[in-house]
Amino acid sequence: MPGSKHYTLVALFAFVALCGAWLLSLDPREHFTTDVTELLPANERDPEARLALSLVHDRQSRVVLVALDAPAGTSAAALASAARTHADTLLASRAFVTAHPLADQTWQHTLGRLLHARRFDLLLPGWLTTQRDAYAADNTTVPFPDWLAARATAALDAHLASPAAAATTELVASDPLLLLVALADQSASLAAAPAASPTRALVWAETREGPLTEAGQQPVFDALAAAETAARAHVPELVAHFTGVARFAAAAKASTRSEITRLNTIAIACVLALTALFLRRFYSLLHLLPVILIATLGATAITTLVFPRVHVLVFVLGSLLSGVAVDYAFQLVLARRENEPYPARLRRLALPLLGGAGTTFAGFLVLSVSELPLVRQLGVYVAAGIVCGLVATVLYFSLFPRLDFAPRHPSLRFALPNRIRLPLLVVLTALSVFGLSRLHWHDDLRNLEYPSPALRAEDAALRTAFGQTDAGATLLTRGATYAEARSRWQQLSAGAPANAPLSSIASLLPVPEDYRAATTPETRAQLAAFLPSFLAAAKAAGFEAEAFAPFQRDFTAYLNAPSPGYEPLLRDTLASLPGPLALLAHSDEEGVWFLSTAPRAFAIPSAAEGTLSLSGIEGLNHLFSRYRAATARLSLVGILALVVISCALHGPRLGLRTAALPLLATGLAFGVLALRGETFGLFHLLGALLGVCLADDYAHFAHIDDPAHPQARTAIRLSGLTTAASFAVLMTSEIPAVTALGATVTLIVVFALVFVETDLFSLHGHHA
């Protein structure tokens, strides 16, 4: 026997050492995440989800918006210098790749130069198509080059006679076809700067690293602080405010870590406090700590072995293990009989121990095949914790076979008379069915985030200052190639109202069909004939011969150079876009997409293939509805496994009665929550599965209740109360999903404990 204890002790220490060494070898930044988007599958097949996730992980997520507020009376020059210094300091750091004070319009000028240099490739094809349509409608016999020359000259005359000509005088010499002038009218909103303020300067910046990485958080905050200090050389009382995904990610990480520590600490304290109420020997509580430690350590190690990255929300929910892991310790130690050897006690308790642990293990192991990463990780974590907790309990308490917790035995018994049990069961079943009929389901991905109302309010205020409001709808048009995406955007644009056209970077790009038509040999020949006709028509209209020398030079060079391919042209153009415009299009191995803004009430035309309305990550709630349905199916499989295991252990009659207790407790808990107006989601469903498995434990042990050994009833009572306490702690969480799970399981466990205390299912031989 001493040798056996030695081997047991070595095995326990070896397991703890191996788990500890493995966890210490992990890089927390690589293996643990607080990113809410990682709660969704990386290979999600839903197109909106894939695109929304790509937005979160792409350049859009690296944008930082900075507002520099100066006191009243600050000179405009000082504020402008402060903004320039702030942006330059950000650029000098390794944390940022771009930074633009929006007031100096540097990036707008860069855009203008880019479009001017490529005006014939980008804008001439669409202009030509419009002119050909007008030429066909004219039904004239005049050759197209001559007709086009006369029309272009007339349009130029009309423009120069208009008030708008004053702003384009210098441009006309190189762009008498008014390509850029027409584009400015169509896409003015793309390059629009926010309204100027005498006491506020705005800086638009982009970080080098993604905001969900360590390099994309603290180094960014340090660079922003340094930039604010540098800007104060011009305005000493300057105050900088900034927003971006990095700020939310850092806040969520800090809050979640704090939540894990707080919930686990309170849960363990509640378990120990309740245990102290029922046990006379307080020092006996120390024997529970190794079991909790081994179960939690083993569950964490196994989960990180199975999954390369684990969301920390799993460990927030995992605080429940402190209440579950000690259940087997209570059942094993409190069920001891005088002079009964430990092996004999194990044989006597084998069925309820294996039944209770087996049903919980099977129920949660089923979740490991879920689509949702969080559900898979939670399933493995709980299943592993149950196995580790049971094995640790059996091995650890074999070292103390005569250990007696010395429980207090309350004299009160609550067993109901036989005659009222069946009517009460009928009433409770009817109540649960009625409540279940009033269930209302709604899933919201934001329920998984730690709420940050102050940050969100500041974010909304800053985005409003930058002109980013929710007044319109955001649309995303995608295609396998640039040509396909641009053609689909054209279909979308055709359905927009004339008084509220779409705003998109796609408007700067030629339609594929127009580009092909503009680069054919026939069109090139017509354009070559058009140039002298236009110069002659312009001279006849009173323009000086050398007035259009820049246009003649650039147009001749365009005609003599080979036309670039459509895909390379668009790829290179979009890659050269400056400032915020660079975020309005994207390409990767999965294809190309363009962002557009439209009026809020804009309806996507049925003919506009490949376009969807994008409301951000908050708009993906329909995905969770699908995941919930899939999780419900898995949960039913888990519950079926529970019933099968119960029947296999106790026979069909007693097995069904054993399984009925947790099922009624769950139905009643859901019914009560529904009657009080609760809106249910995925985590209520996960709570139901966990509650069923836990309540099934008590049903199995209540089956062996023996009046001659009341410690068994104390074990059930103590197990139920400590478990309910550990889940009730989750109800104090700031994360709504965690609160929902805690409330669901707490109610189920309380109802199950009441059923056991009142002998409602008559699962043991004696009657009160």
Does residue 606 fall inside a structural domain?
no
Residues 578 and 647 in one domain: no
Radius of gyration of the chain (CA): 36
Residues 443 and 299 in one domain: yes
pLDDT at residue 627 is higher than 60 = yes
Sign of CA dihedral 206, 209, 212, 213: negative
Residues 337 and 420 in one domain: yes
What mean pLDDT do residues 443-457 have? 72
Q: How many other C-beta atoms lie within 10 A of the C-beta of residue 638?
A: 24
Does residue 48 fall inside a structural domain?
no
Residues 576 and 659 in one domain: no
Q: How many other C-beta atoms lie within 10 A of the C-beta of residue 485?
A: 27
Query: What confidence category does residue 134 fall into, taking pLDDT thresholds of 50, 70 and 90?
Result: very high
Residue 99 sits at φ, ψ, to 5 deg, of -160, 125
pLDDT of residue 593: 82
Query: What confidence category does residue 391 fall into, taking pLDDT thresholds of 50, 70 and 90?
Result: very high
Does residue 207 fall inside a structural domain?
no
Does residue 456 fall inside a structural domain?
no
Helix/strand/coil (H, E, C) string of 408-439?
A: CCCCCCCCCCHHHHHHHHHHHHHHHHHHHCCC
Residue 726 structural domain: 2-29+249-404+415-447+621-757
CA 449 to CA 51: how far, in whole Å?
Answer: 20
Residues 393 and 509 in one domain: no
What mean pLDDT do residues 590-599 have? 80
Residues 641 and 686 in one domain: yes
CA 116 to CA 78: how far, in whole Å?
Answer: 33
Helix/strand/coil (H, E, C) string of 23-70?
A: HHHCCHHHHEECCHHHHCCCCCCCHHHHHHHHHHHCHHHHEEEEEEEC
Query: What confidence category does residue 517 fall into, taking pLDDT thresholds of 50, 70 and 90?
Result: very high
Residues 345 and 299 in one domain: yes
pLDDT of residue 763: 45
Residues 592 and 625 in one domain: no
CA 473 to CA 607: how far, in whole Å?
Answer: 19
Of residues 240 and 110, more confidence is placed in 240
| Amino acid present at 177 | L
Does residue 97 fall inside a structural domain?
no
pLDDT at residue 765 is higher than 50 = no
Domain boundary pick from 599, 630, 646: 599
What Å distances lie between residue 582 and 334, 575, 578, 579, CA to CA? Answer: 68, 7, 6, 6
Write the pLDDT tens digit of every residue in 207-224: 988 887 778 889 999 999
Residues 583 and 631 in one domain: no
Q: Which of 539-553, 690-704, 725-739 has the lowest mean pLDDT?
A: 690-704
Residues 151 and 282 in one domain: no
Q: How many other C-beta atoms lie within 10 A of the C-beta of residue 633?
A: 12
Domain boundary pick from 599, 630, 655: 599
Helix/strand/coil (H, E, C) string of 481-519?
A: CHHHHHHHHHHHHHCCCCCCCCEEHHHHCCCHHHHHHHC
Residues 312 and 263 in one domain: yes
Report the domain count for the chain.
Answer: 2
Does residue 348 fall inside a structural domain?
yes
What mean pLDDT do residues 224-253 have? 90
Write the pLDDT tens digit of every residue in 182-203: 776 555 556 555 666 788 888 8
Q: Which two tokens stand for residue 708?
A: 């001659």
Write the pLDDT tens digit of every residue in 11-40: 999 999 999 999 999 988 788 877 666 666
Q: Are 580 and 8 in contact (CB under 8 A)?
A: no
Nearest CA to 171 out of 485, 432, 620, 551 is that of 551
Does residue 77 fall inside a structural domain?
no
Does residue 233 fall inside a structural domain?
no
Domain boundary pick from 564, 599, 634: 599
Residues 567 and 648 in one domain: no
**Highest mean pLDDT out of 3-17, 126-140, 499-513:** 126-140
Write the pLDDT tens digit of every residue in 320-340: 666 667 778 877 887 777 788
